[in-house]
Structure 1
Amino acid sequence: MPSIRLHNWSEIKPKFRNSVLLLGNGASIAISRGRLDYSSLLKKAIIDPKVKSVFNYFETNDFETVLRMIWQARNINQKLGITEGATGDTYESIRDALIDTIITNHPTYDEVAQHLNIFARFFSYFKIVINLNYDLLTYWARMSQKRCFPKKEFKDCFLHGNFVPNWRTWLTPNRDNCKPVLFFYPHGNLVFAIDRYNQEYKIKAEGENILSSIKNRWTRYRHIPLFVSEGISTMKLNHIRQSPYLWTIYTEVLPSLRPSLVVFGWSFRPEDHHILNAIAKSPLKRIAVSIYKGNRD
């Protein structure tokens, strides 16, 4: 077996210019320790034991799975003229618990603002960023890019709130010759939602207070979030298949990554085995993986 040598990022950085960056939860934890560790949302949520039994029934910790199942059941009941009661109440309880848990644990813009320029500078080195997190750090970092890195253009392939399936066209520099950096979210993100017609869209921010906009969409408009929070790999893949946006990333973006990949803050857990399977189909020639040494340096 060949020996493995550890390098400082500065030593190998030139070899990975214009390559692909994959962000795991460790990247978010490094910015906001204790606030963005979403490895177990259900444990942080305050939910009635009877409602929690629904999670046990579906054998999942994933909020999106349970919300989608109950949502579908409620719609079927309405179509059949069945009087709504426990189904609607359970949906509201779970949705509210998810909202409260995320809003309570997610840092505000002001709390992470000092780190965003550093994030944006790091992202600008790559041509594609694959973000497995569903927090708002990359969203806010994109705002910093507009102010601090005018020769780069961070794009998420959404236009007027809708995903553009022909994502490769976004790799072309614009008329100002700004080099694009594309962002993709294989497990969704807080800024994405599903409306009552089952259409996916990107939530429009109200200034820098995007958290309020997200909460408003979930509560006032009763839209559900588009992200996979937890669950085994096969369950996550089932969710991905149900989403045109996530499925495009899984079947087109991940298998086409090239020429090199940098992995930062990802633990390669069995729960993300489907991501590895998709990346394994790509023509990557070189991979660099960050190592956590137990400190923040």
Structure 2
Amino acid sequence: MPVIEDLRDWADLASDPWPTLLIGNGMSINTWHKFDYSELRAHAVFESAVDQLFTDWNTSNFEEVLEGLWHAERVLTAMKENSEGVRALYEHVRQELVEAIQRVHIRWNSLPMKNLQRVAEVLDQHNLAFTLNYDLLTYWALMYNQGSTEIVDFFWNNPFDPLDTEIHSATATGLLFLHGGIHLWHDSVTGETGKWTNQQQGGLLSQLGDALEANPNRQPLIVSEGRHAQKLRAIRRSDYLSFAYRRLSENHDATVIFGASFGPQDEHIVSALRAEGRRNIAISILPGNENKMVTAMAEYKAKLPDQNLLFFKSTTHPLGDPALLVSDV
């Protein structure tokens, strides 16, 4: 077996400047294992045809199924065959992803406050923090640690105002949701983007269904398309998401990537990371099977060949602390 000589502890890198942070689903899974795709699939209520696709392709990844349906629709269209049924299945999978996230999401009263405090403390150490996650963990961390940290999400105007995005505090962290989130909405009539707010602890999650029913034009802003080009088109349709993606593309600072694996559907994120030339990028690797770790490191090197890559064990980073994992409740 190969020896991983350049996989380090986070402590070896922590003293270096890291102005930028990019978070993936690995962070959320380290708090609540039901954020894993396999759990989301188990809690989704699919039509039988979609269940069959997940089984045939031996996957729990919603985006892989969405990509397959996208290809099927393109084939039928090229053959001048009716593709409405395939398109309906595509929208069905997207909707079930949103609803499955709500079903599996850890409730506020089951979430130790130390978890949110830890997330907030980590975010507060960076100038910009980007997340690919749809869940509420980073949003809750922002909301409930305002006295001890300085994190802003650019929604000081609600709806979001693309002409008012300057952070006036030199010490504040700007938090951006690159693929949206279940707390964000897009108005299909006005085109505006906003966030659901609730001052009661945990009320946002429990009342989200009522909010959607009361505001039928406002749908959850979640970018779950099956191909990276589709994701990018969805991002460009939103003033907020366009702003977030532009900030990532224009960023050239040293960056920590935690819990993001960058599958084929995330090529637009990889392109954004490469847009401003060479920089130092520290990437978390889940320790365990050595072959898997070597493969993961090789994949990052192939995707980011023009960057200075450093690798660290995810469990040695504050966001990967095994003690943060919440048991079933």
Deviations 1:184-209 (A, max 9, x none): 11111111112341322111224221
Q: Tell me the residue number matched to 1:237.
A: 232
Distance 1:199 1:49 in 2: 35
Aligned to 1:124: 124
Alpha-carbon spacing, 1:10–1:40, altered in 2? closer, same or farther (3 Å): same
Superposition map of 1:272-291 within 5 A: 272-283=266-277, 285-291=279-285
- Distance of 2:241 and 2:51 partners within structure 1: 27
CA RMSD of aligned residues (A): 3.4
CA distance in 2, matches of 1:168, 1:27: 27
| Number of residue pairs aligned between Structure 1 and Structure 2 | 258
Q: Which structure 2 residue ranges, 5 or more long, are not aligned?
A: 53-62, 71-84, 289-314, 316-320, 323-329
Correspondences of 1:241-256 after superposition (within 5 Å): 241-250=236-245, 252-256=246-250
Identity of aligned residues (%): 30
The separation in 1 between residues aligned to 2:30 and 2:64, in whole angstroms, is 27
| Displacement of 1:48 | 3.1
The normalised TM-score by structure 2 is 0.68
| Contact kept? 1:203, 1:213, Cα under 8 Å | no
Specify the alignment match of 2:198 in structure 1: 205
- Using the TM superposition, name which of 238-247 and 180-189 deviates more: 238-247
1:24 corresponds in structure 2 to: 24
Say whether residues 1:165 and 2:159 are aligned partners.
Answer: no
> 1:180 matched to which residue of 2?
172
Tell which deviates more after alignment, 198-207 or 178-187: 198-207
State the partner residue of 2:223: 228
Report how far residue 7 of structure 1 moved: 2.1
Residue type at the aligned position of 2:137: L
Measure, in 2, the Cα distance between the counterparts of 1:277 and 1:99: 26
Q: If the length of structure 1 is used for normalisation, what is the TM-score?
A: 0.75
List gaps (5 residues or longer) in structure 1: 54-58, 67-85
1:6-31 per-residue CA deviation (whole Å, 9 max, x = no partner) reads 221112112134x1000011010011
> Per-residue displacement from partner, 1:66-85 (whole Å, max 9, x unpaired)?
9xxxxxxxxxxxxxxxxxxx
How big is the shift at 1:4?
6.3
Equivalent residues in 2 for 1:1-297, closer than 5 Å:
5-17=6-18, 19-33=19-33, 35-38=34-37, 41=40, 44-49=43-48, 61=65, 97=96, 100-113=99-112, 114-147=114-147, 149=148, 152-166=149-163, 169-170=166-167, 172-173=168-169, 179-197=171-189, 198-208=191-201, 209-222=203-216, 223-250=218-245, 252-283=246-277, 285-294=279-288, 297=322
Q: Decide whether aligned partners of structure 1 residues 196 and 255 sit closer, same or farther in structure 2, where only a CA change above 3 A counts.
A: closer
Match of 2:80 in 1: none
Q: Write the deviation string for residues 38-85 of structure 1: whole angstroms up to 9, x where unpaired.
A: 4785664213347989xxxxx9755xx99xxxxxxxxxxxxxxxxxxx
For 1:154, give the aligned amino acid: I
Q: What's the offset of the Cα at 1:99?
A: 5.5
Would you say the 8 A contact 1:28–1:36 is kept in 2? yes
Equivalent AA in structure 2 for residue 103 of structure 1: Q
**More deviation, 181-190/283-292:** 283-292
Report the 3-state secondary structure (helix = DSSP H, G, I; strand = E; otherwise coil) of the residue aligned with 1:21: strand
